[in-house]
A and B are shown apart, each in its own frame.
Chain A
Amino acid sequence: MLGEGILKGLGETARNFAGSFVSADRLTTVQYPEERIAPIEATRDFPFLVYDGDDWEAGLRCVACQICEKECPPKCIYIVKSTDKKPDALGKPQIYPARFDIDISVCMSCQICVEVCPFEAIKMDTEFELSTTDRFGGLLYDRKELAKSNEHYHKIHPTEAAEVDARLAEEKTKAEAKAKAAAAKAAAPKPAAPAPVAAKPAAAPAESEKQG
């Protein structure tokens, strides 16, 4: 009969209306500022710079190779290389970023900078409450604001961070082994020849340096 469907529909909405008062699990809305749900592990929004140890300036993994700056599709990264060198986490003298700025109002969270970084120095953060009263300066982050510890990285992306740490440790042991072998060789007949082999991990930044 005509109108039957309307009555059924009215019944359905009435049931939902009444049900929303009776059972709380019908209301799926999370009342955000008071209630929060933990973000899923793959959450990402804007990049940050990882540092090891306690001192952010000394422990920064970034060697200012500028690959991320070149790869960034919206060009929101700005890097100025240092003129001097500082020992990095492995104790090797490296160039470091004198300036590293990311304009997060331009960043599109594509994660390409993270994927191209050969030093695991830039990773994606999960911080999303970034509102500021200054729409230009407040969203342009310098390296101090971008630097976050490896512990923070472990906290937000535990699985990924563990993999990265394992990889870095492996590289470190390899480099150490190579350095040892080179040292052993160097101690024997010829001192100068194997030096470039030992400098292998630093090869990538060196090349990009030439390009830049």
Chain B
Amino acid sequence: MIENLDQIFVILAHWVVSFLPAWLQPYVMILLGVVGIIVTFPALFAITVLLERKGLGRMQNRYGPNRVGPYGIFQPVADGIKSLTKEDIVPLSADAVVHFLAPVFLVVVVFMGYAVIPIGRNMTLVNIDAGLFFFFAIGASTELSVFMAGWSSRNKYSLLGAMRAVAQMISYEIPLLMSAVAIVMMTGSLSLNKIVEQQNQYTYGLPHWNIFTPWGLAAFILFAIAATAETNRSPFDLPEGESELVAGYFTEYSGFKFALFFLGEYVGMLGISGIGTTLFLGGYSAPLQILGFVPSWLWFFAKIMLSMCVFIWVRGTLPRLRQDQLMNFAWKFVLPLSLLNLIVAAAWRFIGEGPLRWVVCSGILLIVYVLMGRVGMKREHFGPRSYRYAE
């Protein structure tokens, strides 16, 4: 029974497929998986948007939306209807084709990333050996759609936003990959299923998640920072900083194209949460051995929703960075630490079992972190500001 519940979607899909001729079965199987992903994640997107608006409201001692339905739970439905019925304006001087393609491209690319994420036991749409590699390759092409949107709009704010977005995404792509590489080094595989399987073991009832090691924790924190920047979330929301750039690269978008950008952004966040969960938080595995009876997909969704809550929490707390702070942080702090983390992970591997590797690895990381915080991130004082006026 418990196993059935765990595999319920797999069993259902096999049952549906069994009515079809044999040559059609693999195609329909894939189609079912795609439909499942395309239905599930936008639904989670709606929940996330509601959670975000309510949560941010509560953090600011407001109620948040509470008009549509009980406690405002139908707010996403109202938003959806509104954006569907709104006029779709394309600027006269915009490059109409690229302007149209940009949001479509973003959504397609973002959904393609889900193909390799193990959502539950035996629930990976395409189980390829280089799954992690595929995800990052696909994830990097969101930059293209962002730049397409900014360039084709023929608007200075759009273009500035797109330039910022590309600069930021490329800068943070490197620490994102570097922190993931530590996991690949330790697992010895790029297959996301293998990475999860390796974490899905227990000693004394406690899981072997990567986050419970010094290098794993450091990589997780770096990954979280880079992922936040990669998805243009606050405090790294410079590309769409509404106080500076109207709305950044999607200034010239309205109606459903705007909604597609919005969807793409949140689905991208869910995707990167999914990959973070897979790499560091044990994917679909239960946090305690005794909780193993809960279906694996439920754990996966619980973990990504939890990380969405953290995203919201961070957004409610931190103010936006300045462009130079953003770049300094990426190149002078996150990247060196993620490189160091690779060395620490290697040391962990070669010191061998025992308490010694815990002490050495966490010691190195802590000392470097504190030193870099003291020295590298020191605020520069330029003295009092002086002005020169034209004679």
A residues neighboring B (CB under 8 Å): 1-3, 6, 9-10, 12-14, 16-17, 19-21, 26-29, 31
Please state if B61 and A28 are interface contacts (CB–CB under 8 Å): yes
Within the complex, which residue of B60, B317, B370, B372 is in contact with A6, where a contact is CB–CB below 8 Å?
B317
CB distance from B30 to the nearest CB of A (A): 42
Please state if A16 and B314 are interface contacts (CB–CB under 8 Å): no
Q: Which residues of A contact B63 (CB under 8 A)?
A: 27, 29, 31
Interface pairs A-B: 3 shortest CB-CB: A2-B373, A9-B317, A13-B317
Please state if A6 and B318 are interface contacts (CB–CB under 8 Å): yes
Please state if B372 and A2 are interface contacts (CB–CB under 8 Å): yes
- Decide: A20 near B317, CB < 8 A? Known: A2-B372, A2-B373, A2-B377: no
Q: Measured between alpha carbons, how far is A14 from B179 in the docked complex, in Å?
A: 28
From B314, which residue of chain A is reached at the shortest CB distance? A10
- Decide: A29 near B62, CB < 8 A? Known: A2-B369, A2-B377, A3-B373: yes
Please state if A17 and B373 are interface contacts (CB–CB under 8 Å): no
7 additional A-B pairs beyond A10-B314, A17-B316, beta carbons within 8 Å, are: A2-B372, A16-B59, A16-B60, A16-B61, A28-B61, A29-B63, A31-B63
Asked if B58 CB lies within 8 Å of chain A CBs, one says: yes
CB distance from A210 to the nearest CB of B (A): 56
CB distance from B341 to the nearest CB of A (A): 16
CB distance from A1 to the nearest CB of B (A): 6
Sorting the interface of chain B by its residue count into under 10, 10 to 19, 20 to 34 or 35 or more gives 10 to 19
B residues neighboring A (CB under 8 Å): 55, 58-63, 66, 313-314, 316-318, 369-370, 372-374, 377
CB distance from B221 to the nearest CB of A (A): 9
Q: Which residues of A contact B313 (CB under 8 A)?
A: 10, 13-14, 17
| Chain A contact residues: helix, strand, loop or mixed | helix
Q: Measured between alpha carbons, how far is A10 from B63 in the docked complex, in Å?
A: 19
Within the complex, which residue of A1, A13, A29, A31 is in contact with B59, where a contact is CB–CB below 8 Å?
A13
From A19, which residue of chain B is reached at the shortest CB distance? B61
Q: Which residues of A contact B66 (CB under 8 A)?
A: 31
Please state if A27 and B373 are interface contacts (CB–CB under 8 Å): no
Q: Which residues of B contact A27 (CB under 8 A)?
A: 61-63
CB distance from A23 to the nearest CB of B (A): 10
Please state if A1 and B58 are interface contacts (CB–CB under 8 Å): no
From B376, which residue of chain A is reached at the shortest CB distance? A2
From B310, which residue of chain A is reached at the shortest CB distance? A10
Within the complex, which residue of B59, B314, B374 is in contact with A17, where a contact is CB–CB below 8 Å?
B59
Q: Measured between alpha carbons, how far is A26 from B66 in the docked complex, in Å?
A: 17
